[in-house]
Each structure stands twice: as C-alpha cells, then as structure tokens.
Amino acid sequence: MDGEGTLRLHIPGARFRPGDRPDFSYLRLPPAGAAPRPPVDAPAIATRDLAFGLVRTLDDDGVAVGEWNPGLGADELVRGLRTMALVRAFDERMFRAQRQGKTPFYMKCTGEEAVATAQTYALRPDDMCFATYRQQAILVARGTPLDEMMGQIYANALDPTKGRQLPVMYTAKSRGYFSQSGNLATQFPQAVGWAMASAYRRDTRIASGWIGDGASAEGDFHQALVFASVHRAPVVLNLVNNQWAISSAQSVAGGEESTFASRAIGYGIPGVRVDGNDYLAVFAASRWAAERARSNHGPTLIEHFTYRAAPHSTSDDPARYRAGDEWERWPLGDPIARLKLHLVRAGAWDDGRHSAMLRAVEADVAEADARAQALGVHGDGPHHDPLTMFDDVYKDMPWNLREQRDELAALPGRAT
C-alpha cells in the first residue's frame, strides 16, 4: 500500500523561531467585505464558510466594506479608538511599574485591544463577562476607574481581592466582570452556566466567555460547547487566537489542522472567524452573536484571529522563542492604526487629534497612577491586615480558621 511503512509521529511547532525571517504569505486572508452576513437565526452549518474563512470589513485603504460593516457612527468609533489607546497606555505604564518593582507581575494585551474593546461595546453594560487575563479592555471600556484597576495590581486598599490574587486577576461584579481565576479555561463553561441561569430566570442579560487558543485544548472548552449547545445557552463564546501560548504556537493546540472557529459547527454552534485587529469586524461579529443569544438562538463561537504583540507576561522573554519582528510583519496590522486610518479616510479624524488623544490618555493614566500609588504599591505594604487572609474562605469563619488567625495574631512583631 502506498505510503505504508513505519509510522511517523507529528510534532507541530512554530513556523518561525528566533533568527528566521517571518513570512505570513501562507495565511489565506480573504479580501475585506467578501464574507456574507447570515441572519441571526442561521443554523450552524450555514456558518461553515465563516468558520473556515475570515470576516473582514476594513480594506487595505481603511475603507469599511461588505455586509459585516456595522455602520457605526464616527463618535462610536472614536470612543473605541480612545479606549484602545487608553488600554495600551495603561499596559505600558503597568509594565514599567513591574520593572520598577511596584508590582511583581503584569500582562499586556498589546495588539489585541480591538478584541475586547469592540465586543464590550457590542454588549450591554450588564452582560456578564468571564474573561481571561488579556481582556482588561472590558473593564476599561465599561468605565472602571483606572486607579481601581491599578489598586488590584498594587494590592493596595483599592484591591477588591484584598491582596490575595495575582496582579491583573480582577473582579468587578458591579461592572459585569466575573472574578478571574488564573487556572486556564475554567471560566469558559462557567460562562455557559451563568447564561443558563439567566435564561432560567427569564432575564435579558447574556454572558460572554473568553478563552485563548492554547487553553482551548482543555476539556473545559469541550464541556462549554457541549452544555452551550445542549441547553442553547445565551452566551457569546470568544476564542482569542493570538498565535502564541507563551512559547507554544497555536498549532500545538490544534490550529494547524483546522480553524478554531470550525470546531463550533460539530457542536451545532455557529462559528465565526474574525479579523481580530479589525475593530469593525469584531464589533459586527460580536453584535451578531449577542443578537443571536438575546433572541434565544443560542451560543456562537467567535475566533478572534489576532497576534500577541506583547510578551506573555512580565516574566516572559519572547526573544527566546519567536522571531523578533513577527509583530511588524503580521499582515493584519495594528488595530489602533487600522481604526485610525479608517477614521482619517472618513474625514472624522486626523493626526493632530490623534496625537492630542494619545497625550490625553497618557495623562489620564499618569494621574490615575499617582492616585493609586498614593495608597501604596507592592512591597511597601501589606496594605490589608494579614489577618484578613482568614476572611472569605467561608461565609462564616469556622473554629479552625479562628484558631489559626489567633495564632498568627499572637506572633510577636507580625507585620500589620
């Protein structure tokens, strides 16, 4: 038989490593505007081309074209642009804060700002988001005071997690933002459960779940899609394919053999693969999915095809495992630059306003940081009484925790 012989084990890897010259010409990028926009009650199978293709609205000249153009007004687009710029400035500031020893850890979302920003504006403010560590734009877009977010990073008095959580593991119930875990993928089926509860209560709020390409290999991803499909949960399931899970390429999670969005179809869930650096396309896909959910047509899986320009975290050095100029060569560009171009072409924006806006967001971040640092940073605390570590394990503290708290309290010279 042809091809028969000894067996070969396939070990996928990255296309480019340090020293390589990245060439993304292998990516099949359909032209902007080519993808049809099906009605929101379309069955999963009708999204096959969307799941294997790529929804794009912005062409190379920054012009929005095709059925997925959401038709947003200039004010809405400028708001999105400003939020993305604010998130980037926030990230830069906090990254430097880590280098200055003011926080032990930070994670940027540079290059991926459009994904969470556009989706948040496509949702309603009280829809519940089950995010990972790279959707800080949800909180920013919902108007969370930046010093509160910084307070979590500095573990000072503004930290709602009371100094217990890793930096960037936010929780903000009043802003529709579920407590981040740090364990990968666990939030994805939880989002489905929240959505099921909302449907059970005949509420109108929907859930938005988030996962990365790497973590989609976890069983939680499968369980989320099964439960979402079986119970037609009103949830938008977002998979951010930013090409990298620390040093593991998306091929290691299965992205080489198929698209992540295409997995949805086997579960009977519509799948949409969207240019994650195209603000308008992300907004349109998110709004389509949210409309589906809100009108009882069930879940949607959106694969946001983007690129992690940032290191995984402040503890990571991508120069050790990927080509240094991948981000510059990424054919889908920078989401901020692309939306700016679109606005400029539409006559609604110019370089002067853009520069002023960048200065303004940097000033906002600096002022917020001054307020946050006035309450202390990591290392000059603790800012919460260490005895509070025994709180919130249970609603009511049992005897063993009371005894342990008393034991710590009795230690001479304990830091409070």
Partner 1 sequence: MSRMNMVQALNSALDVKLAGDPDVLVFGEDVGFFGGVFRVTEGLQQRHGEGRVFDAPIAEAGQVAVAIGMGAYGLRPVVECQFADYIYPAFDQIVSEAARLRYRSGGEFNAPITIRAPYGGGIFGGQTHSQSPEGLFSHVCGLKTVIPSNPYDAKGLLISAIEDDDPVLFFEPKRLYAGPFDGHHERPAVSWDGHSKGDVPTGRYAIPLGEAAIAREGGDLTILAYGTMVHVALAAAEETGIDAEVIDLRTIVPLDIAAIEASVRKTGRCLVVHEATRTGGFGAELSALVQERCFHWLEAPILRVTGWDTPYPREFEWEYFPGPQRVGAAIRRVMAE
User: In Å, how far from its chain's centre is CA 133?
Assistant: 7
- The stretch near partner 1 (CB under 8 A) out of 100-108, 154-162, 238-246, 335-343 is 154-162
Least separation in angstroms between CB 140 and partner 1: 19
- Binding partner 1 (rule: CB under 8 A), the pick from 400, 409, 414, 416 is 400
Q: Please tell me the distance from the alpha carbon of residue 249 to that of residue 308, in angstroms, as a whole number.
A: 11
- Binding partner 1 (rule: CB under 8 A), the pick from 266, 392, 406, 416 is 392
- The stretch near partner 1 (CB under 8 A) out of 105-113, 174-182, 242-250, 332-340 is 174-182
Structure tokens at 21: 């010259």
Least separation in angstroms between CB 390 and partner 1: 10
Per rule CB under 8 A, is residue 48 in the interface with partner 1?
A: no
Q: Measured from the CB atom, is 159 or 369 closer to partner 1?
A: 159
- Binding partner 1 (rule: CB under 8 A), the pick from 155, 215, 224, 302 is 224
3-state SS, residue 323:
coil
First to last CA, the chain: 75
Q: Measured from the CB atom, is 195 or 309 closer to partner 1?
A: 195
Q: Please tell me the distance from the alpha carbon of residue 5 to that of residue 140, in angstroms, as a whole number.
A: 57
Q: Please tell me the distance from the alpha carbon of residue 129 to that of residue 208, in angstroms, as a whole number.
A: 5
Per rule CB under 8 A, is residue 410 in the interface with partner 1?
A: no
Backbone dihedral region for residue 412 (phi beyond 0: left; psi -120 to 50: alpha; all else: beta) = beta
Looking up tokens 């096959």, which residue turns up?
48
Write the DSSP string, 24-58: GGGS--PPTT-S----TT--GGGGHHHHHS-B--B
Least separation in angstroms between CB 235 and partner 1: 9
The single-letter DSSP state of residue 178 is P
Per rule CB under 8 A, is residue 216 in the interface with partner 1?
A: no
The interface mask with partner 1, positions 335-374, x = CB under 8 A, is ----------------------------------------
Task: Tell me whether residue 264 is exposed, middle or buried, using C-beta atoms within 10 angstroms of its C-beta: 0 to 12, 13 to 18, 19 or more.
Answer: buried
Per rule CB under 8 A, is residue 26 in the interface with partner 1?
A: no
Peptide bond into 331 cis (omega under 30): no
Least separation in angstroms between CB 291 and partner 1: 21
Per rule CB under 8 A, is residue 181 in the interface with partner 1?
A: yes
Q: Measured from the CB atom, is 186 or 247 closer to partner 1?
A: 186
- Binding partner 1 (rule: CB under 8 A), the pick from 83, 156, 198, 216 is 198
Write the DSSP string, 97-159: HHHTTSSS-----TT-HHHHHHHHHHS-TTSEEE--TT-HHHHHHTT--HHHHHHHHHTSTT-
Of residues 313, 309, 364, 310, the one with CA closest to residue 103: 313
3-state SS, residue 237:
strand
Contacts with 75 (C-beta within 8 Å, 6 or more apart), sequence order: none
Q: How many residues bind partner 1 (CB under 8 A)?
A: 47
Per rule CB under 8 A, is residue 183 in the interface with partner 1?
A: yes
Per rule CB under 8 A, is residue 258 in the interface with partner 1?
A: no
Structure tokens at 163: 């100094």
Q: Measured from the CB atom, is 15 or 231 closer to partner 1?
A: 231
What residues from 283 to 342 belong to the interface with partner 1 (CB under 8 A)?
none
- Binding partner 1 (rule: CB under 8 A), the pick from 32, 89, 109, 192 is 192
Per rule CB under 8 A, is residue 173 in the interface with partner 1?
A: yes
Q: Please tell me the distance from the alpha carbon of residue 206 to that of residue 226, in angstroms, as a whole number.
A: 18
Per rule CB under 8 A, is residue 169 in the interface with partner 1?
A: yes
Per rule CB under 8 A, is residue 135 in the interface with partner 1?
A: no
- Binding partner 1 (rule: CB under 8 A), the pick from 81, 84, 195, 215 is 195
Q: How many helices (H) and strands (E) does the chain have?
A: 13, 7
- The stretch near partner 1 (CB under 8 A) out of 39-47, 84-92, 200-208, 338-346 is 200-208
Q: Measured from the CB atom, is 51 or 195 closer to partner 1?
A: 195
Per rule CB under 8 A, is residue 251 in the interface with partner 1?
A: no
Maximum alpha-carbon separation in the chain: 79
Of residues 172, 160, 107, the one with CA closest to residue 134: 107
- Binding partner 1 (rule: CB under 8 A), the pick from 110, 120, 135, 190 is 190
What are the residues binding partner 1 (CB under 8 A)?
128, 130, 159-162, 164-165, 169, 171-173, 178-179, 181, 183, 186, 188-198, 200-201, 207, 219-220, 222-224, 226-227, 230, 391-395, 398-400
